[in-house]
């Protein structure tokens, strides 16, 4: 322990010194702003509020992103330029094709089910008495990390060999109906869908709360007028409720897509990416920290970033259109 602290002491001192200088600069800007008058006040105010955020954005996001892109064109040790070799490996490797297929399933099915189930629950609980209790129970899994949720669901999917007592909830239910349970996590592609259930269980509460707030924002006079005109049930939902909350639904869906696309915890905890369940973020981790291949890991990170961009751009455009309408 003493050796570890001694070896890392210079780095700790450098980090502490850099943080001290950063806050010293901010304090100096605040002092200058308090003394400035006239035309100098506005530029200093912009420097104080925008400057530190810009520095942190550049140091924490832009520079690492540029370094990752450069590493993706280099070899495993980032010492020599290899061109598009890492990207060709992604295109031609059959195992990576499975990873990309699983990632596509995650970003299509998991967010769609999560947002749809959240909307359904929001509508069902909107007119319910003591709805706050039900919403709190449904939202409660959001307080659990993906790792914690995976450990809980490991007991649900637990399997014991034949003629032994089953402690897993799913295996117990299957046996109660007269069927013989299987080792669920080993069955492909069922295991990927079982992992998605964990994601949906955690994230549905988020979608329900956001969409419930949007539904409560729908003007009651519009709903009453539509009811008088004979609209009810599915017709009322299709013609009034969903169009009014469509923007919020898109935001929830896009947010869940981003979360599922960079998902790592569930796959790593449940299967480690084995048995045909691997996804892009877990493979990126494995290449960098298990295989020690900086080039391939960086190339996968770039692919992950490019996959996120259309979702983010669509979300930004939807928010701009919603602001224009409002």
Please report the pLDDT score of residue 3 as a whole number: 43
Q: How far is Cα 304 from Cα 263, in angstroms, rounded to an integer?
A: 11
Cα–Cα distance list, 44 to 19, 27, 28, 33, 320 (Å): 21, 12, 11, 6, 30
The dihedral through the CA atoms of 55, 61, 62, 67 has a sign that is positive
Which residue, among 235, 237, 247, has the nearest Cα to 325 in the 3D structure? 247
Please report the pLDDT score of residue 231 as a whole number: 65
Q: How far is Cα 192 from Cα 195, in angstroms, rounded to an integer?
A: 5
Q: How confident is the model at residue 14 (pLDDT cuts 50, 70, 90)?
A: confident
Torsion angles phi and psi, residue 74, rounded to 5 = -120, 175
pTM: 0.81
The three-state secondary structure class of 40 is helix
DSSP code per residue over 142-156: GGS-HHHHHHHHHHH
Q: Check pLDDT > 50 for residue 268.
A: yes
Torsion angles phi and psi, residue 81, rounded to 5 = -80, 130
The dihedral through the CA atoms of 56, 59, 63, 65 has a sign that is negative
- Residue-averaged pLDDT of the chain: 84
Angle (CA) 258 264 265, round 5°: 120
- As a whole number, mean pLDDT of residues 141-160 equals 91
Cα–Cα distance list, 53 to 26, 58, 68, 178, 311 (Å): 11, 9, 22, 61, 24
Q: pLDDT tens digits for 27-86?
A: 776 776 666 666 767 777 777 777 778 888 888 889 989 999 999 999 988 889 998 999
């Amino acid at each position: 322990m003493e050796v570890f602290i001694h070896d890392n002491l210079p780095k700790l001192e450098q980090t502490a010194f850099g943080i001290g200088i950063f806050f010293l600069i901010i304090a100096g800007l605040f002092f200058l702003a308090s003394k400035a008058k006239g035309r100098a006040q506005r530029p200093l105010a912009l420097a104080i509020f925008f400057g530190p955020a810009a520095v942190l954005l550049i140091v924490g996001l832009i520079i690492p992103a540029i370094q990752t892109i450069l590493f993706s064109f280099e070899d495993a040790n980032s010492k020599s330029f290899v061109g598009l070799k890492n990207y060709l490996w992604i295109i031609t490797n059959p195992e990576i094709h499975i990873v990309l297929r699983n990632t596509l399933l995650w970003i299509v099915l998991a967010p769609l089910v999560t947002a749809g189930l959240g909307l359904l629950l929001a509508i069902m609980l909107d007119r319910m008495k003591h709805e706050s209790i039900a919403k709190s129970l449904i939202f409660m899994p959001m307080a659990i990390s993906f790792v914690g949720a995976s450990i809980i669901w490991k007991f649900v999917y637990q399997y014991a060999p034949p003629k032994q007592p089953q402690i897993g909830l799913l295996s117990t239910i299957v046996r109660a109906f007269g069927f013989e349970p299987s080792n669920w996590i080993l069955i492909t592609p069922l295991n990927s869908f079982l992992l998605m259930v964990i994601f949906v269980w955690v994230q549905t509460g988020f979608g329900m709360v956001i969409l419930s707030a949007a539904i409560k924002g729908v003007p009651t006079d519009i709903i009453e007028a539509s009811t008088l005109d004979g609209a009810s049930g599915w017709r009322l939902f299709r013609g009034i409720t969903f169009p009014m909350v469509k923007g919020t639904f898109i935001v929830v869906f896009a947010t869940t897509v981003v979360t599922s696309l960079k998902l790592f915890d569930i796959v790593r905890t449940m299967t480690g990416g084995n048995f045909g369940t691997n996804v892009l973020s877990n493979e990126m981790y494995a290449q960098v920290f298990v295989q020690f291949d900086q080039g391939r890991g960086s190339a996968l990170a770039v692919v992950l970033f490019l996959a996120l961009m259309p979702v983010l751009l669509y979300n930004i455009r939807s928010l701009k259109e919603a602001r224009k309408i409002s």
